[in-house]
Amino acid sequence: MNPKGSESREASVSRPGAGASVDQWLQYLEAIHPAEIELGLDRVLVVLRRLFPRNPGARIITVAGTNGKGTAVTTLERLLLAAGRTTGAYTSPHLERYNERVRLNGADIDDASLIRAFGQVEEARGSVPLTYFEFGTLAAFVAFAEAGVQDWILEVGLGGRLDAVNVLDANYAMITAVDIDHIGFLGDNRNVIGFEKAGILRPGIDAVCADPSPPPSVLQQASAQKVQLQLTGRDYQIQPLPERDRVALVLGSESYRLPAGPLPVESVAGAVVLARKLVPQLSAEQIEATLAGIRVPGRFEQLQNSPLVVLDVGHNPHAARWLAGKLEALRADYGTVRGVYGALADKDTAGVMAAMKPVVDIWYFAGLDVPRGLSADELQARAAQSEIGPGHAFVSVAEALDQARRDAAPEDIVIVFGSFFTVAEARALCQHHAEIC
């Protein structure tokens, strides 16, 4: 059951004792497994059955996709709460505190509840090795069960079929955009990746696919399992409205006015369609009011107006194309666009930069001092190979953002993007150091 070397690794790690903090538990989770990612459900299922001899008495709503998952989870959470349901939402990664990953009725879990959940998973796992993500996923399940919430909204971490979240059978499911990312784990084409995403589907359930051009593998899996799959463009439509900040969602005889930004409208609309199955009593007025000011931290998040400072966690070409479209819509009203870009080594940096090249005028390449993080010099070298420029290299996000701000005129845009790590660092700086933002 244990991967090679994990027994000796665990032997050298002390389990957190009574009174341990969340940070001490997280350090333990990082230390007990030799791999950051190890796809597969067998180990997680063993521990799940020890924790839950019977299936949880809640509705399980699973969300998979390459991009837009966080938006879908947040939209579903808001609508379910508006309908009077109680919710647990599980997302990843986090920007500032791990507690962001586990939300109970819209609020981040408190430290005491999270620590109790960690302790229960640790007791249940025995000698079964769990990755950081697997351990945290099971802890979220424990926290939701302890709180007794009615709806569990679960965001897949990577892929779908073999992701720890998929150890629970979904009663409802949503697949957002499907595109190429995590090639080493999921494959190098949309059809193969779509098969992995569609692994969250279960026979006969209601599901929504928000991708306007879903891979054949998704449709084949849905058909084979007789899933009641609703598709954008076929079962519902997203239509422009005269107001630039609104779109219309048309679902049969119903129509809803939804915000056109700052979130991916396909994910918002798809989540509304699924919510109509989950809570059909919600009126159009309730839906529109609930979503009027919806935001997700780090997703086209505007932190300052003069110059405009925007943060976005887009880290693959598909997300970068969406981000470029948002910036292009703003360019007529602003001046120079200054891009602060920091990335991980295993990401398609060439694809991201190609997508952003038409809208970024000056690049500020930022080094990331994290596992798999690219140094600024390495990132700039990749940019040179792709004929991206002009640009400057900075050791850290802090230095890159500070310089971009100093160079910017009041009418300029400073866009910080490329990784959750990039955005997390910039966000913390802007919140705690007003002179940088």
Top pLDDT among 285 and 180 is at 285
Q: Which of 4-18, 27-41, 393-407 is predicted with the least confidence, judged by mean pLDDT?
A: 4-18
93 cis-preceded (ω within 30 degrees of 0):
yes
Which two tokens mark 55? 């299936």
Top pLDDT among 275 and 39 is at 275
3-state SS assignment for residue 348: coil
User: What's the confidence (pLDDT) of residue 434?
Assistant: 65
Q: Which one of 14-28, 137-151, 173-187 scores highest in mean pLDDT? A: 137-151
Top pLDDT among 55 and 105 is at 105
> Positive or negative CA dihedral for 388, 394, 400, 402?
negative
3-state SS assignment for residue 305: strand
Which two tokens mark 199? 């692994």
280 cis-preceded (ω within 30 degrees of 0):
no
User: What's the confidence (pLDDT) of residue 47?
Assistant: 98
Rounded to the nearest integer, the mean pLDDT of the chain is 93
In percent, how much of the chain has pLDDT > 70?
Answer: 93
User: What's the confidence (pLDDT) of residue 178?
Assistant: 93
State mean pLDDT over 89-117: 97
User: What's the confidence (pLDDT) of residue 3?
Assistant: 43
Smallest CA-to-CA distance from 209 within 344, 64, 338 is with: 64
User: What's the confidence (pLDDT) of residue 40?
Assistant: 80
Res. 55: pLDDT tops 70:
yes
- Kindly give, in sequence order, each residue whose CB lies less than 8 Å from that of residue 72, ignoring residues fewer than 6 positions away: 63, 65, 155, 174, 176, 210, 267, 268, 270, 271
Q: How many CB atoms lie within 10 A of CB 352?
A: 28
State mean pLDDT over 354-361: 97
State mean pLDDT over 79-107: 97
Top pLDDT among 85 and 39 is at 85
Q: What is the pLDDT of residues 296-354, one digit of tens each?
A: 999 999 998 999 999 999 999 999 999 999 999 998 899 999 999 999 998 999 999 99
- pLDDT level of residue 413 (50, 70, 90 thresholds): very high
Res. 258: pLDDT tops 60:
yes
CA distances to 201, 232, 233, 382 from 250, in Å: 25, 10, 10, 44
User: What's the confidence (pLDDT) of residue 159?
Assistant: 86
Secondary structure E strands in 65-142: 87-90, 102-104, 107-108
Which two tokens mark 40? 């597969």
- pLDDT level of residue 2 (50, 70, 90 thresholds): very low
Ordered structural domains, the chain, with CATH: 6-291 (3.40.1190.10), 301-432 (3.90.190.20)
Q: Which of 182-191, 216-225, 368-377 is predicted with the least confidence, judged by mean pLDDT?
A: 182-191
Q: What is the dihedral of CA 262, 263, 268, 269, to 10 degrees?
A: 60
- pLDDT level of residue 5 (50, 70, 90 thresholds): very low
